[in-house]
Structure 1
Amino acid sequence: MYDRLQLTNMLRSEVERIPETGLPLEVFPARIQELVLNLARYENFNVEYTASILLSAVATAIGNSYRIRIKGEWKTSPSIYMMLVGRPGLGKTPPLGFLYRPIREYDDRMYEKYNEEWNAYEKALASSGNRRGGAAEECTLLRKPQLVTTVISDFTPEAMMSIHQHNPRGIALVVDEIRALFNSVKRYNNRNNLIEDLLTAYSGQPLKVIRKSEARPILIKNPCINIIGSVQTNLLPEIFRAEYMANGLLDRFLFVYPKDRRISGWKRDDGTIARPDLVGQWQEVLDRIVNLPYPAGVVLNMADDAEAYFYNWYNGIIEEVNAIEDDAEVESRKMKLNGNAARLSLVFQVLKWATDGGGMQCVDLESVQAAIRMIGYYEETYRRIQELIVANNIGESKEAWLSLLGNTFTAGDAIVVGKRVELSRRSVYYALKQLCCQPNPLLEKIDHGTYRKLCPSKPAAPCTIALLDGETGGAGYQSAKVQCANDENPRGHE
């Protein structure tokens, strides 16, 4: 039975055509639905970005105060890696600033406390230095203040580890342009373990740093690192690079890519309706979560019906993977979904407790169902991102790729040739599917893993000739993305 607020939210969602976006806004607590809808109305925030950033902020606020047991001894904090994708001006940054503001304000208060402690520390140092006898002993007993903060944006890998050590509850890497996070790998390339540290932190394994430059080793037994940042659609190829696909980093990310790419026009408020206190409402919710005690480190189990639902859902994924005969067709991302689903289940449980007075004895069925619905939404957005990237790659390399294949070929042949024209394995499989299913198909599947061309081979393009020369032992082949010889600025590998 719907109460008045739920019914109002449902009607407003229909009017705003939110169901068409695929976002299951109805799985959020009623008060949060109302907040998201009001932020869209009064602040012009994109609903899909707002709802997702909200989950990231809640996960950051929870930190290591609560964890969820997934199976047996597998327990995890609610840390989430999230990427906001969209064209410039679509509104990724404003909701990020608004929803993380209470956590930043908490950091500001901690910074003021740190300054007070530092001033007291310096006075004590000066005082002990002016006294005779026992001054050296007293000086060594003085404890140097350490800054405790949660949100960091510009950092070195070493600084990130140090900050997390002083805030074991957890930290958040909030970067307006997430390319900066990936580019930092190049900037500190000599001794940069950032990607490895992020992979280790996601899996919940201890982080340890032992270096000569460090006065003391750093050990973080239960890392909890949240990541959120944005990237413009046309810059996605810089993120989806081979090394990040191979090491599984991107498989850990949840992607938000709104279906509706239109930028909403601004509407004037006529003043006839009182504007709700959106800042105060959100502050109240997040403050309650931030104040959860730590280091209590409570581990919540799933309720029996919730665990049964979760296992049935994931067993369905396992059955799909087991049915695939060719290992090359198995997507590693699918096997990471259980971790993100469990984390979101915990986030929804805490969010319900902070708004509607839900219990905190276990993670209930409603929270697990909400999380799985959201995972379905994020996987749909990821699929659309992949189609966009692959379509662009195929458009640039299709002719050269097809020219190097015989009239009849296997999927394995296509993958081998694809590497030579910079098409990933995933791109090759997508290309085979698309070229068989388009209105005027170029290929047909004649057997399992075997294909035949439906159009005659075309003369090799200049870039294809370069590829063939490399095959016969020439000076080396060039990418299929090279320009013709008469172009002014020929280009090699990117």
Structure 2
Amino acid sequence: MVKEEQQSVYVGKNLIKKTPRVIDLIDLENDYLKHDRHNPNPFPVDVFPKPLQEIIFEAHNKYQFCLDYLGAGILSAASAAIGNTYKVEVKKGWEEKANLFTVIVGRPGDSKTHALNFCFRPIHKHENEAFKTYETELNAYIQNGLEQVENREHLKKPILKKILISDFTPEALITCHANNKKGMYVYVDELHGWIKNFNRYNNSGEVETYLSLWSGTQISTDRASGKSLRISDPFIGVIGSTQISVLKEFAKGGRHTNGFLDRFLFVYPSKQITLKWNINKVDAVYIDNYHTIISSLLDFKCIDEFKSEVIPIETKAKTYLFNWQNNRPENYLFDYERSIDIKLQQYVIRFALILQLIHHVIEGCTNTQVELKAVQDSIKLFDYFYHNAIQVRQETSRKNYYESLTQLQKDILEELPEKFTTLQGIQIACKEINGKPRVSSRQFQTYLKDQKLFKKYTRGHYEKVI
């Protein structure tokens, strides 16, 4: 039980109000998630401070947005807001940034876009205000140029300060980043289109560019006009959504073997519900609180235009992290499992940096080192995203084979239960349509021999493996 009293938390100079509770409903919500047998891989909402958890559950309960979308969306929004202002030093010569490559996966109509818009609303608001400032400065620049013809070359053209970019060429991305040293986030509603556009720039090595951007290594571009650009310390993140049916596009063109696919954090909810229209609204207090939190992260500034604040991992936290990593499996059944594991191990460090800074702006925790709790909670995120990454790998390889089947084969496969006997299978597959069996018993038993679709676990008993 919690005493019924008004509680508040300061974020910077702003007061975050907490709704009085008799029972801590957030703890109850988290307990339910952990014990929901229909959801084997819930997003670990409890990695966030309580004020953020309240916002997530409020948006989930009022708007019915998937908790996974909200949790991952807020993690990415925090990453975008932090940008290149902070890095974490793992050991001498090894630093990690806070950039994430995140893909929200779902069915049509699952409100992926709406959930992301909710999570990034404070950044969209920040972008709108920056654009108004830019327009004002640009109009003044044009006017001054008209009035001061003789000194026009001394006027400095204003630059649009922004974080999010949606429609661009690889060259435009680097140009925009050159004007926004804090970093950029590729924010695309449908990442399928972004992936397909890679084909337009085959000669530019766009996939290789993103591999470098994920790692934060320097990039440069040489224009036909003769002007060259170089970003020595880039910060590029990616956030967007895609449908389950087009996941296989992410694995095409060698992207499943060059490490590109394994750099993505897939948000693939195990449990989805059909959204129902309603007139519920999120309490304004929660909206204000969320804007205050993200705005506080947006207020972070680099030491100077080109230098980040580099913070260490505290000794206990580093010992815990290294022990965990040293005890990861050494042998894997599939090569992609190893690749996923290694990339996500790096993400643990990035998650820890983001969580530490979130706790800093909400609860006043230190921003001079990464603490043990941030590392422990980051490992929870590792487990969540690892489960999803394996599911996506299985899904993409499975989909390719599944789509090679005839429609009749697909229909029979869908109608069969997960486990069945030979007799049950024959009854389903050979049922009569317009007075005739769909297939013969012999045809079905030949179909059962396809080991990519079925596994025989005892005499006369089968289970589907796709």
| Fold equivalence (TM over 0.5) | yes
Change (3 A) 1:360 1:67: same
Contact 1:82 1:254 in 2 (8 A): yes
How far apart are the structure 2 equivalents of 1:386 and 1:183?
19
| Shift in CA distance, 238/104, structure 1 to aligned 2, threshold 3 Å | same
Q: CA deviation at 1:89?
A: 1.1
**Deviation sequence 1:124-178 (CA, Å, 0-9, x none):** 222232xxxxx2xx33222222212111111111111111110010111111100
CA–CA separation in structure 1 for the residues paired with 2:192 and 2:126 = 27
Percent of aligned pairs with the same residue? 27
* Cα shift at 1:266: 4.2
Write out aligned runs for 1:85-484 (5 A).
Answer: 85-129=105-149, 135=150, 138-189=151-202, 191-214=203-226, 216-266=227-277, 269=280, 275-296=283-304, 297-317=308-328, 320-321=329-330, 323=331, 331-395=338-402, 438=457
For 1:254, the aligned partner's letter is L
Report deviation, 1:200: 0.9
Matched with 1:10 is 27
Q: Distance in 2 between matches of 1:301 and 1:194?
A: 33
1:325-375 Cα shifts (integer Å, max 9, x gaps): x99576322221222111110010011112122111210010011111111
Q: CA deviation at 1:282?
A: 0.8
Which letter does structure 2 place at the counterpart of 1:46? Answer: C
* Cα distance, 1:192 vs structure 2: 3.0
- Structure 1 CA distance for aligned equivalents of residues 2 and 324 of structure 2: 27
- What's the CA shift for 1:433? 9.5
Return the alpha-carbon distance in structure 2 between the equivalents of residues 217 and 392 of structure 1.
43
Return the structure number with greater strand share. 2
Structure 2 CA distance for aligned equivalents of residues 200 and 241 of structure 1: 19
The 3-state SS of whatever aligns with 1:147 is: coil
Q: Cα distance, 1:397 vs. partner?
A: 6.2
Q: Which SS does the other structure have where 1:283 is aligned?
A: helix
Q: Deviations over 1:225-266 (max 9, x none)?
A: 110111101111112214111221111110000111322434
Tell me how large the CA RMSD over aligned residues is: 2.9
Q: CA separation in 2, counterparts of 1:206 and 1:278?
A: 39
Distance in 2 between residues matched to 1:436 and 1:278, nearest whole Å: 50
Over 3 Å counting, the alpha-carbon distance change for 1:160 and 1:17 in structure 2 is: same
Q: Alpha carbons of 1:102 and 1:207: their partners in 2 closer, same or farther (altered >3 Å)? A: same
Q: For the residues of structure 2 that align with 1:383 and 1:393, how far apart are their CA atoms?
A: 16
- Alpha-carbon displacement from aligned partner over 1:310-332 (angstroms, at most 9, x marks no partner): 11121122xx23x46x9957632
Gaps of 5+ in 1: 130-134, 400-430, 444-494
Closer, same or farther: CA 48–217 of 1 in aligned 2, 3 Å: same
Q: In structure 2, do the counterparts of structure 1 residues 344 and 438 end up closer, same or farther at CA, with 3 Å as the change threshold?
A: farther
* Partner deviation per Cα, 1:181-232 (whole Å, 9 max, x = no partner): 112212344x433322211111111111123325x31111111111011110
Q: What is the match of residue 452 of structure 1? A: none
Give the SS at the match of 2:256: helix
Q: Which runs of 5+ in 2 are unaligned?
A: 5-20, 407-449
1:77 aligns with 2:92: no
Structure 2 Cα separation of the partners of residues 186 and 397 of structure 1: 24
Hey, what's the Cα distance between the residues in 2 that align with 1:341 and 1:332?
15
User: Does the Cα contact within 8 Å between 1:185 and 1:192 map onto a contact in 2?
Assistant: no
Contact 2:248 2:397 in 1 (8 A): no
Question: Match for 1:250: what amino acid?
Answer: L
1:68 paired residue number:
88
TM superposition score normalised by structure 1 = 0.74
For residues 246 and 218 of structure 1, the distance between their equivalents in structure 2, rounded to whole angstroms, comes to 30
AA in 2 matched with 1:126: L
Matched, 1:45 2:33: no
Separation of aligned partners in 1, 2:139 and 2:79: 33
CA contact (8 A) 1:64 1:295 kept: no
Report SS of the residue matched to 1:361.
coil
Alpha-carbon spacing, 1:71–1:42, altered in 2? closer, same or farther (3 Å):
same
Count of residue correspondences: 396
Q: 1:284 to 1:201 in 2, by over 3 A?
A: same
CA distance in 1, matches of 2:119, 2:211: 26
Q: Is the 8 A contact 1:211 1:217 kept in 2?
A: yes
For the residues of structure 2 that align with 1:330 and 1:45, how far apart are their CA atoms?
30
CA distance in 2, matches of 1:267, 1:14: 26
Alpha-carbon offset, residue 275 of structure 1: 3.2
Give me the whole-angstrom Cα distance separating, in 2, the residues matched to 1:179 and 1:334: 24
Mapped contact 2:262–2:389 kept (Cα < 8 A) = no
Letter aligned with residue 293 of structure 1: K
Q: Summarize the Cα distance change of 1:315–1:90 in structure 2 as closer, same or farther, 3 Å threshold.
A: same
Structure 2 letter corresponding to 1:211: R
Q: What SS is found at the alignment partner of 1:119?
A: helix
1:435–1:441 contact (8 Å) kept in structure 2 = no
Deviation of the 1:100 alpha carbon: 0.9
Q: Displacement of 1:395 after TM fit?
A: 4.1
The answer on whether the counterparts of 1:153 and 1:174 sit within 8 Å (CA) in structure 2 is yes
| 1:42–1:108 distance in 2 versus 1, CA, 3 Å | same
